[in-house]
Amino acid sequence: MGTLHKYDLQHTQCQVFFETGTGLGHSLKHALDNGNFSTLYSSEIHSPTAERASTLFASYPQVHILHSDSTTALKSILRQVPSTTSIFFFLDAHFPGEVEVGYNYAEHTPNGVTMPLQEELQLIRQLRPGAMDVIVVDDLKLYEDGPFENGQISNSFANIPSSWRNLDFVHALFPDKTIEKSYLDDGYLILKPHSSNFSLKKLSAGYRIKRTIKKNVARLLG
Ligand SMILES: C[S@@+](CC[C@H](N)C(=O)[O-])C[C@H]1O[C@@H](n2cnc3c(N)ncnc32)[C@H](O)[C@@H]1O
C-alpha cells in the first residue's frame, strides 16, 4: 500500500481532491492538511471502514466520505464538478476491507479481486473531457513488475489473474496526457496534462518535524 502522506501536495494546481479507497484516511488527512483543496471526496466500499472515516472527518465540512463503491461515487460527484475546476485523483480502491486488522488477501479474495481501476479511468475519461486533472494511481506493482522500493508482488498474490496485469487500457484512454511511472513505495502511475509539472516530491524535513510535533502536542492535550 502506498500513501500520499509523505509527498508534497501543495503544487497540484487542482482545487478538488478525489480519492477512491479511504482506508484509514491517512492520505485524505494529509491532503486536507497539506494540499490547497477546497473540497475533498473519498469513497469507501467497506462499511466499518467508511463509518470509521466518517467519524474521523466529521468536524471537517469540506471533507465528504462517500460510503459506496468507487464507480458509483465517481458517477455521482463528477457530474457536479465543472470541468474548469481541476481534480486531483488518488485511485487506491482495491480489496474491500483490507485495512482491517487480520485481513488476509488469500482468504478474502478466493474468486477474483476487486480492482476497479479500468472502470474508474473510463468514467474519468468520459465525464471530465478537456479537464486539467491530475491522476495518481497507487500500487502500480499490482499491474506490472518493476524495481519497486517495497518489492514486487508474488505470482499468486491475491489470486490476481496474469491477464489483468497490464496497463494497456491507460494508454488507450489517455493519449492526451503525460503518463509517468514512479517506483517509490509500491509504485505509482501519474497521468497529468502535458503542461503540468506535478511529480511526487517528498515533503521537506522541516514540514515533517513540525507535523510530528503538532501530532504529539495534540496527543498530549487530547
Ligand atoms: C489501500 S486502502 C486505501 C488507503 C488510503 N487510500 C490511504 O492512502 O490512506 C484500500 C481501500 O479501498 C477500499 N476499497 C476496495 N474496493 C473498493 C471499491 N470498489 N470502491 C471503494 N473502495 C474500495 C478497501 O476497503 C480499502 O479500505
Query: What's the number of domains the chain is made of?
Result: 1
In a domain, 131, yes or no: yes
Using only the alpha carbons of the chain, give its radius of gyration.
17
Q: Which atom of ligand 1 is nearest to the CA of 19?
A: 6
In a domain, 173, yes or no: yes
State the pLDDT at residue 113.
58
In a domain, 7, yes or no: no
In a domain, 159, yes or no: yes
State the pLDDT at residue 152.
92
CA of 140 to the centre of ligand 1 (A): 15
In a domain, 193, yes or no: yes
Q: Which three cell numbers stand for residue 198?
A: 506535478
CATH number at residue 175: 3.40.50.150
Distance CA 99, CA 101 (A): 6
Q: Is the CB of 65 under 6 A from ligand 1?
A: no
In a domain, 60, yes or no: yes
pTM of the model: 0.95
* pLDDT-flagged residues of the chain (< 70): 108-113
State the pLDDT at residue 69.
94
State the pLDDT at residue 103.
84
In a domain, 1, yes or no: no
Which of 92, 115, 136, 185 best tests ligand 1's pocket when mutated (most atoms within 8 Å of CB)? Answer: 92
Range of the domain at 78: 16-221
State the pLDDT at residue 110.
53
CA of 125 to the centre of ligand 1 (A): 21
